[in-house]
């Protein structure tokens, strides 16, 4: 079964409320083998909601809606689903009794407008809501199903897990399972990583994709099968292929921060850190893990000056090699050019006793919100390559 999610509410489109419900629903539907193919946000407009629902029903067997089940005039999900499925709204006294009882439990008076919440489309599967005043339901038209859930996250979570998923399993004999495996890689651009798996990104099952976040890349493999074991069996050979093609760049299930912290701990190496950015992005990244934080023995913030010498390869290397250190202590210097153009060079130098200093540079757009993430990933990737040298048998690019 394939599904679409429709998140209803003008506040979602104004950016006042962030739609976290759709991500949660996609994760939960995957546990019963339902693959989500599209997520749509729509404002509180009856005509627009009906249009979105009809289009979604034409494409998918299941449409799951969140929001718009409240008692006010802009809560239009009930009316929209009734119109889209061609079924009239029918009043249910038991639902009104449930709502009244909830108000009584809180010693509050129920408003007349709450009566609207006791209406659902004719012949719909009713889902009573013990966590709120908005009943949920599943309506049907010509073998296509539309589920309506309240937008309040805690209510939506409870009804999804205790009612909607059991309904889908029992009423629709859903036995398939969707399994998702992620493999992280570092040290390549998104384009370079994508080129290595271009040929295996074309399949329908498993589905392979790549996402970029915080300067790191995650390869995602999703497989559907009659059981978890069957889905895993589809994924396993692809993971083996990915491991072969990304030798030297693999993080497995670790983030770059986790990998670097673990390697520092395993090798018993302490680290001195010098940064010129006041925000200290490398320090923040390293201290995300206990191992990374414990490896730091000194942190120095030295803001870049306007003279060119304070934002150069030579300056970064001088900072990295200055002073005397213990044999198991390295120094990482991260130097960003002073303000000016949005794209600024970041110079990274790493020095360890009795070793040739390592160096890397990267142009980073500091106009981007994630600029400091890119600074951190550049520095940590240089550190990782030192801690975990590239194997001499690195696989050729495919």
User: Which sequence spans correspond to the domains of the chain?
Assistant: 2-172, 177-252, 257-387
pTM above 0.75, yes or no: no
> Can you give the pLDDT at residue 395?
40
- Contact criterion met (CB below 8 Å) for 364 and 374: yes
For CA atoms 372, 376, 377, 382, give the dihedral sign. Answer: positive
Average pLDDT per block of 10 residues along the chain, 398 residues long: 94 92 92 90 97 97 96 95 96 95 90 94 95 94 95 95 92 78 84 88 85 78 86 92 88 88 93 92 94 93 67 84 81 84 88 90 87 92 86 43
**CA-CA distance, 284 to 277, in Å (whole number)?**
11
- Contact criterion met (CB below 8 Å) for 84 and 140: no
Q: Any idea which architecture 177-252 has in CATH?
A: 2-Layer Sandwich (3.30)
What's the CATH number for 2-172?
Answer: 3.40.980.10
> Can you give the pLDDT at residue 310?
62
Nearest of 365, 348, 366 to residue 357 by alpha carbon: 348
Q: Any idea which architecture 257-387 has in CATH?
A: Alpha-Beta Complex (3.90)
**CA-CA distance, 347 to 221, in Å (whole number)?**
35
> Can you give the pLDDT at residue 309?
59
């Amino acid at each position: 079964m394939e599904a679409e999610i429709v998140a209803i509410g003008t506040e979602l489109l104004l950016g006042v409320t962030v739609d976290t419900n759709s991500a949660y629903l996609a994760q939960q539907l995957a546990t019963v083998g339902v693959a989500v193919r599209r997520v749509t946000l729509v404002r509180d407009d009856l005509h627009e909601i009906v249009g979105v629902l009809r289009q979604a029903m034409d494409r998918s067997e299941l449409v799951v809606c969140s929001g718009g089940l409240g008692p006010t005039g802009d809560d239009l999900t009930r009316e929209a689903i009734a119109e889209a499925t061609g079924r009239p709204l029918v009043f249910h006294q038991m639902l009104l009794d449930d709502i009244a009882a909830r108000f009584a439990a809180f010693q509050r008076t129920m408003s007349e407008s709450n009566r609207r919440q006791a209406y659902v489309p004719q012949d719909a599967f009713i889902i009573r809501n013990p966590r709120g005043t908005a009943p949920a339901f599943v309506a049907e038209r010509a073998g296509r199903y539309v589920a309506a859930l309240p937008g309040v996250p805690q209510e939506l979570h409870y009804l999804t897990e205790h009612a909607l998923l059991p309904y889908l399993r029992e009423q629709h004999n859903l036995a398939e399972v969707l399994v998702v495996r992620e493999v992280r890689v570092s040290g390549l651009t998104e384009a370079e990583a994508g080129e290595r798996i271009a040929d295996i990104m074309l399949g329908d099952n498993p589905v392979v994709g790549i996402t970029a976040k915080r300067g790191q890349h995650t390869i995602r493999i999703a497989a559907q099968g009659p059981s978890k074991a069957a889905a895993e069996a589809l994924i396993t050979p692809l993971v083996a292929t990915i491991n072969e093609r990304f030798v030297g760049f693999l993080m497995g299930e670790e983030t770059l921060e986790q990998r670097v912290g673990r390697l520092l701990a395993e090798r018993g190496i302490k680290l001195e850190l010098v940064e010129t950015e006041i925000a200290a992005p490398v320090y923040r990244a390293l201290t995300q893990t206990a191992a990374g934080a414990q490896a730091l023995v000194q942190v120095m913030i030295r803001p870049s000056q306007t003279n060119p010498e304070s934002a150069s390869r030579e300056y970064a290397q001088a900072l990295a090699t200055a002073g005397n250190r213990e044999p198991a202590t390295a120094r990482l210097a991260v130097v960003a050019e002073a303000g000016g153009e949005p794209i600024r060079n970041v110079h990274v130098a790493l020095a360890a006793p009795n070793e040739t200093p390592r160096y890397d540079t990267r142009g980073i757009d500091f106009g981007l919100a994630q600029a400091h993430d890119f600074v951190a990933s550049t520095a940590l990737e240089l550190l990782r390559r030192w801690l975990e040298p590239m194997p001499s048998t690195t696989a050729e690019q495919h």
